[in-house]
Chains A and B, each alone.
Chain A
Amino acid sequence: MSSLLAQIPGRQRGGGAPRAGRRLPLQGQQLALVLLIAALAAGFASQAPEFLSVDSIENLLRSASMFGIVGLGMTVVIISCGSLGGIDLSVGSMMALGGAIGAGLLGTAFTAANPVKLPAALAMLMALLVTGLLGAVSGLLIARLKLAPFAVTLGMMSVARGLTYLMVAFAIGSSNTAGITFSDPLFDWFGLNNFGPIPSITVLFLVLAALIAFMLKATAFGRSLFVLGGNAENARLAGINVRRTIVIVFAISGLLAGLGGLILTGRLSSASPLAATGYELEVIMVAVIGGTSLSGGRGSIVGTVLAAILVSEIDTGLDMMNVPSFNQYLIKGTILVVAVVMDKVYQARSSRMLVQSA
């Protein structure tokens, strides 16, 4: 059997260090992200020196935290359901819906036609409840009826957007795309408050990231997500309740999207039915650039956090350089496709090594 040892790719590549075969690519990717963030910062700063101003960095952190929080949910969805084609396209609309519910149920809304007037905390809770439940509905359809996640969440994207319009109309008494404006201290905490130099939502983001990372790495539930992402039938035969897991995962994504929507609403001090349109692109970028494999079973929260910073940096930097928005779409779309290609290249490389060792 000693001949087998000679066949293991990790050893072929001179991997004297343990774990060299498995861990290096991820670490390399995270290192690359850090370098890319630094290089882009230098690049943007050379074109627009105000990029490194306190205001700009604060703005960047707020945006990164918002996309990052929603991206945490996306990361969990793709890790666990990637083998089923798992993705959540509804996050942009869910953000809009969360914001509209949170603002629309407020007692402090300026456009005070809304019949329901709740304290801000309760309004926010309602928002999270609704988006979390809608996420669970997506999960239920995917798990029970074995529907493609892409199709279900595409439908949910439209349903949530429709509900957002209804919610805004309900709150201000007429359909008005301008949306709900309000002033509320709790929303300001989300949108404007700082802990020292760091925006409060950045702290919230890092706490949530740590929680999710702990869940993935150190709990039995987290482990079952990686198993499910590796192979769903396998997960079932290992005794994992696959249906329940899928429902929970999409509920988490919906809930975090709702939270992202509340943050967006706090930053803008208004909730528009058109809010967060197309934000699913940024959120999927955050997960994929962070190293989460679209085929499932692989991903890291550190990567997601770094990618959230990178994606927001690109957004902020391009804005500051006055790059027209259509060019921004072009650039961001290209970056996403490149990230997916890199994932494929990594997979092809590891499966080639499998063939050689067979």
Chain B
Amino acid sequence: MVASSTPQPLLRMEGITKSYGSVQVLHGVELSVGRGEVLGLLGENGAGKSTLLNILNGVIQRDTGSIVIDGSPVEFTGPKQAQEAGLAFIHQELSVLPYLSVAENVFLNRLPRRKGAPWLVDWAACYRQAGEILERLAVKIHPRTLVGSLGTAEQELVEIAKALSMNARIITMDEPTASLTESEIERLFTLMRALKADGVSVIYVSHRLDEVAEICDRATILRDGKIVNTVDAQTTDSHALATMMVGRELSELFPKTEHERGRETLRVSNLSTVKVDDVSFTAHAGEVLGIAGLVGSGRTELVRAVFGADPITSGEVFVNGEAVTLDSPGTAIRHGIGLVPEDRKLQGAVLSMTNAHNITLAGLSKVSRWGQLDRGGEKQAAKRLIQDLQVTPSRIEQETGRLSGGNQQKVVLAKWLFAGSDILIVDEPTRGVDVGARAAIHGLLNDLAGQGTTIIMISSDLPEVMGMSDRILVMHEGRIAGELPRKDFSEEAIVMYASGLEPTTEGAKA
């Protein structure tokens, strides 16, 4: 254990326990954060991070233990008290209101009032003050902009501005980088360093271990509701962190297996949609084709078009050499294409249905005859896939909505395995997924490629896309800006192409 560097930390949580019914989810957790410190909070999904952070921010009540801020014990009965004590909680799923302006979001419920007429909002002051906060953050967003028109990264900055406007001293960020691209992450980190310099403390939750070394001072690792260790984030490598989180040695993070590239399975010629401009590429059996690029560069739109989910305005798609008209996802599925979408909750799995029903969803014709379902066969097939993919808990009757993110993703993958897709498109397959499930998903994609499936993988996580792919297409503003064979992979080349620049020859070879 590394002792806190400051003699009296800004925040100290001691002996925190919490049980739901007979299940204890937190066992005497200790945690401290110094003034102006960024503390990484690491742990697999289900380790108790969310419970701990919810307790800290007054969302739920602890059973025992104490929370001390600035030397005095605090007791929160709700999130409002926690906010008043200088805590702010930025959730992974942002809570901004899209149809309100940036300033309105920042001052939600606390809009400045006119002097002498407190029932009227002082809009001038509202926009001015919001502008001042944004300026302090060096964020170039106009306070009158509608938040819905901003990208995810900018919306996150609005959340931070909101936290600062409430004079937050301790900001909890739950996976803030999950949907950000490299450059946006850099910008966030710059901002976090500025916050540090101002004496604001941050509790930072992330599944991306390389970020922890980059931004955190110390890291506290939680496993099964207990603190495993608190380490110096600068001197601990990510492999050691991962091992502490999982409690066992992890096999190599990206177990890339080389296999023979087979025949051409997909050819896209001059494809255009509203967001995609004249894109051509091919993909082959047994190949993992990576698609990199910034969020909004048209990656998701490209694969949605290939899956028949978005209308194609011009161009052609050939599957196994045959020209196909992809007018609906149903057509794409009949041609052996599967899509694991970016938004798992809204598009990937039907959360209200059981695992078995989710798994057979895209391949009902395989377990039915004349439209009548063979429910016994369905159960058997689902059971086998759940075992193969090690979905936990392994009950086929379990509602998918009650699984962790990683296990939900496994169910979505099982759906396409069941449908027997020859071309499997995965869009950010490991976003919000814990380390263990991540490795399992990577292993599965590799195995599928080994069996001759064509895998097309979109990822904003450069180590992931570089570790997994045989070839990478980099998109920029709806076009393919560059294509890299595995031997030429480098973060620099991808970033250059993604920014619309030509990589230098040295860069491409580095």
Interface residues of A (CB under 8 A from B): 1-14, 18-19, 21-22, 218-221, 223-224, 226-227, 230-231, 233-241, 297-298, 353-354, 356-358
A selection of 10 A-B contacts at a CB cut-off of 8 Å is A4-B403, A7-B23, A8-B398, A218-B373, A220-B364, A223-B357, A230-B351, A237-B307, A241-B328, A357-B404
Shortest 6 CB-CB contacts between residues of A and residues of B: A239-B330, A230-B350, A239-B333, A220-B364, A12-B21, A220-B368
Report the minimum CB–CB distance from B388 to chain A (whole Å). Answer: 15
Q: Are A10 and B402 in contact (CB under 8 A)?
A: yes
Separation of A227 and B330 alpha carbons in the complex (Å):
14
Q: Are B402 and A239 in contact (CB under 8 A)?
A: no
Report the minimum CB–CB distance from A344 to chain B (whole Å). Answer: 15
Report the minimum CB–CB distance from A214 to chain B (whole Å). Answer: 9
Partner of B393, one of A8, A220, A241: A8
Partner of B354, one of A11, A22, A236: A22
Q: Are B392 and A21 in contact (CB under 8 A)?
A: no
Q: Are A239 and B329 in contact (CB under 8 A)?
A: yes
Q: Are A227 and B350 in contact (CB under 8 A)?
A: yes
Contacts of A22 in B (CB 8 A): 354, 397-399
A231 — nearest CB in chain B belongs to which residue?
B350
Partner of A13, one of B21, B328, B403, B407: B21
Separation of A219 and B225 alpha carbons in the complex (Å):
44
Report the minimum CB–CB distance from B238 to chain A (whole Å). Answer: 20
Partner of B46, one of A7, A237, A298: A7
Q: Are B371 and A19 in contact (CB under 8 A)?
A: no
Q: Are A353 and B353 in contact (CB under 8 A)?
A: no
Q: Is B352 an interface residue (CB 8 A)?
A: yes
Chain B residues numbered 368-414 whose CB sits less than 8 Å from any CB in chain A: 368, 371-373, 375, 390, 392-393, 395, 397-399, 401-404, 407
Q: Is B293 an interface residue (CB 8 A)?
A: no
Q: Are A239 and B362 in contact (CB under 8 A)?
A: yes
Q: Is B422 an interface residue (CB 8 A)?
A: no
A4, A7, A239, most chain B CB atoms within 10 A: A239
Partner of B330, one of A8, A221, A240: A240
Q: Are A354 and B25 in contact (CB under 8 A)?
A: no
B309 — nearest CB in chain A belongs to which residue?
A237
- With A227-B361, A239-B334 already in contact, 17 other A-B pairs whose C-beta atoms are closer than 8 Å: A4-B392, A6-B23, A12-B22, A12-B23, A14-B21, A21-B402, A219-B368, A223-B361, A223-B373, A226-B357, A233-B347, A234-B350, A237-B307, A239-B329, A241-B328, A241-B330, A353-B402
Q: Is B348 an interface residue (CB 8 A)?
A: yes
Contacts of B332 in A (CB 8 A): 239
Dominant SS among interface residues on chain B? mixed
Q: Are B328 and A227 in contact (CB under 8 A)?
A: no
Contacts of A240 in B (CB 8 A): 330
Dominant SS among interface residues on chain A? helix
Q: Is B47 an interface residue (CB 8 A)?
A: yes
- Known A-B contacts A236-B309, A356-B20; the reply to A220 vs B350 at CB < 8 A is no
Partner of B346, one of A12, A234, A357: A234
Contact with A along B313-357 (1 / 0, CB 8 A): 000000000000000111011100001010000111111111001
Q: Are B362 and A238 in contact (CB under 8 A)?
A: yes
Q: Are B402 and A8 in contact (CB under 8 A)?
A: yes
- Known A-B contacts A18-B395, A220-B368; the reply to A7 vs B339 at CB < 8 A is no
Q: Are B371 and A4 in contact (CB under 8 A)?
A: no
Separation of A354 and B402 alpha carbons in the complex (Å):
5
Contacts of A353 in B (CB 8 A): 402
Separation of A240 and B402 alpha carbons in the complex (Å):
24
Q: Are B47 and A3 in contact (CB under 8 A)?
A: yes
Q: Is B224 an interface residue (CB 8 A)?
A: yes
Separation of A14 and B333 alpha carbons in the complex (Å):
41
Separation of A3 and B22 alpha carbons in the complex (Å):
14
Q: Are A21 and B362 in contact (CB under 8 A)?
A: no
Q: Is B104 an interface residue (CB 8 A)?
A: no
B331 — nearest CB in chain A belongs to which residue?
A239
Contacts of A6 in B (CB 8 A): 23, 25, 46
Q: Are A10 and B398 in contact (CB under 8 A)?
A: yes
Separation of A297 and B349 alpha carbons in the complex (Å):
13
Partner of B402, one of A9, A18, A236: A9
Q: Are B329 and A236 in contact (CB under 8 A)?
A: yes
Separation of A5 and B23 alpha carbons in the complex (Å):
10
Separation of A18 and B399 alpha carbons in the complex (Å):
12
Q: Are A358 and B346 in contact (CB under 8 A)?
A: no
Contacts of B403 in A (CB 8 A): 4
Q: Are B361 and A5 in contact (CB under 8 A)?
A: no
Q: Is B45 an interface residue (CB 8 A)?
A: yes
A2, A241, A358, most chain B CB atoms within 10 A: A358
Report the minimum CB–CB distance from A14 to chain B (whole Å). Answer: 7
Q: Are B375 and A237 in contact (CB under 8 A)?
A: no
Q: Are A4 and B350 in contact (CB under 8 A)?
A: no
Report the minimum CB–CB distance from A356 to chain B (whole Å). Answer: 6
B401 — nearest CB in chain A belongs to which residue?
A354
Q: Is B436 an interface residue (CB 8 A)?
A: yes
Separation of A13 and B403 alpha carbons in the complex (Å):
16
Q: Are B362 and A298 in contact (CB under 8 A)?
A: no
Contacts of B46 in A (CB 8 A): 3-4, 6-7, 357
Contacts of B328 in A (CB 8 A): 236, 239, 241
Q: Are A237 and B347 in contact (CB under 8 A)?
A: yes
Separation of A266 and B339 alpha carbons in the complex (Å):
53
Report the minimum CB–CB distance from B363 to chain A (whole Å). Answer: 9
B43 — nearest CB in chain A belongs to which residue?
A3
Chain B residues numbered 32-85 whose CB sits less than 8 Å from any CB in chain A: 44-47, 50
Contacts of B407 in A (CB 8 A): 4
Q: Are B365 and A220 in contact (CB under 8 A)?
A: yes
Contacts of A19 in B (CB 8 A): 397
Q: Are A1 and B50 in contact (CB under 8 A)?
A: no
Separation of A354 and B93 alpha carbons in the complex (Å):
15
Q: Are A12 and B330 in contact (CB under 8 A)?
A: no
Separation of A219 and B367 alpha carbons in the complex (Å):
10
Q: Are B346 and A221 in contact (CB under 8 A)?
A: no
- Known A-B contacts A6-B25, A220-B373; the reply to A18 vs B397 at CB < 8 A is yes
Report the minimum CB–CB distance from B85 to chain A (whole Å). Answer: 23
Q: Is B442 an interface residue (CB 8 A)?
A: no
Separation of A354 and B173 alpha carbons in the complex (Å):
21
Q: Are A358 and B404 in contact (CB under 8 A)?
A: yes
- Known A-B contacts A11-B23, A231-B350, A237-B309; the reply to A357 vs B402 at CB < 8 A is yes
Report the minimum CB–CB distance from A63 to chain B (whole Å). Answer: 33
Q: Are A237 and B368 in contact (CB under 8 A)?
A: no
Chain B residues numbered 76-118 whose CB sits less than 8 Å from any CB in chain A: none
Contacts of B162 in A (CB 8 A): none
Q: Is B223 an interface residue (CB 8 A)?
A: yes
Report the minimum CB–CB distance from B335 to chain A (whole Å). Answer: 11
- Known A-B contacts A234-B348, A356-B20; the reply to A223 vs B25 at CB < 8 A is no
Q: Are B351 and A223 in contact (CB under 8 A)?
A: no
Contacts of A234 in B (CB 8 A): 346-350
Separation of A12 and B47 alpha carbons in the complex (Å):
16
Separation of A4 and B347 alpha carbons in the complex (Å):
24
Q: Are A298 and B348 in contact (CB under 8 A)?
A: no
A223 — nearest CB in chain B belongs to which residue?
B364
Partner of A238, one of B25, B329, B371: B329
- Known A-B contacts A13-B21, A18-B397; the reply to A230 vs B404 at CB < 8 A is no
